[in-house]
Amino acid sequence: MESDIVGRRERKRLATHHALRAAALRLGAERGIRDVTVEEIATAADVSVRTFYDHFPSKEDAIIGFDAWRVDQLRDALRDRPATEPPLEALRVVMRRLFDESSGEWPLRMRAINSDPALLGRMFVSFIGYERALVEVIAERTGLDPNDNPYPALVTAVATAAFRASMTTARASGGSMDAAATFDGAVALLAAALTPPEGPSPC
């Protein structure tokens, strides 16, 4: 899965990284992010506070945790989708993976977000970086200049809107709804109505 672990050093670093995230996730879900200090997270992961900040810029990022390398990962995944696939569907497939990849973390993440809705915002913030990368690839696929034509930015924005809406409604339902399934449904609803750039008029 991971690009082969190169050495013991890198392996240990990943271990502390994971331990910090797990601790932040667990504590954040248990007591709410506001009542958890960075010191507690670091202690739970058995490292110093200073080390925490070498891995995450803030405790919120440790919980939301969309690292920079995921951007590349997502971009490559979108590039690998067949060229014949409609942009929105391609976006759905690769974004859908965000739910599946760290599926074990999502329940805790949702509980943490429930404790402080501002975390949901932080998450949407991290989407900005994703959107930028995705818009770039969509522009390649469609051959449109993203600075000239709003279509790439719009399709991507619509896809993330579906992602956000599914997150929000899943949260509103108190966890009774599956965010991933809701996301698929939302995209399907949009796909039925949205059309590719060539024909601006739907019918």
Partner DNA sequence: TGCACTAATTGCACGTTGTGCAGTGAGTGG
Partner DNA sequence: CCACTCACTGCACAACGTGCAATTAGTGCA
With respect to its own copies, which residue has the nearer C-beta, 29 or 139? 139
Q: b/e per residue, 132-148, with b = 16+ CB within 10 A?
A: ebbbbbbbebbebebee
Q: Identify what 47 binds: DNA, its own copies, none; CB under 5 to 8 Å per kind.
A: DNA
Pick from 5, 14, 49, 172: which binds its own copies (CB under 8 A)? 172
Least Å distance, CB 172 to DNA, is 24
Q: Please give the DSSP secondary-structure letter assigned to residue 83.
A: T
Structure tokens at 61: 């990022």
Among 68, 2, 55, 69, CA closest to 24: 55
Q: Whole-angstrom Cα distance, residue 142 to residue 151?
A: 9
Pick from 16, 73, 114, 149: which binds DNA (CB under 7 A)? 16
Chain centroid to Cα 150, Å, comes to: 23
Stretch that binds its own copies, among 15-23, 34-42, 108-116, 149-157 (CB under 8 A): 149-157
Q: Whole-angstrom Cα distance, residue 31 to residue 78?
A: 37
- If binding is defined by CB under 8 A, does position 115 make contact with its own copies? no
Q: Site residues (CB under 8 A) for its own copies?
A: 117-118, 120-122, 124-126, 128, 131, 146-147, 150-151, 153-154, 156-158, 160-162, 164-166, 168-169, 172-173, 182, 185-186, 189-190, 192-195, 200-203
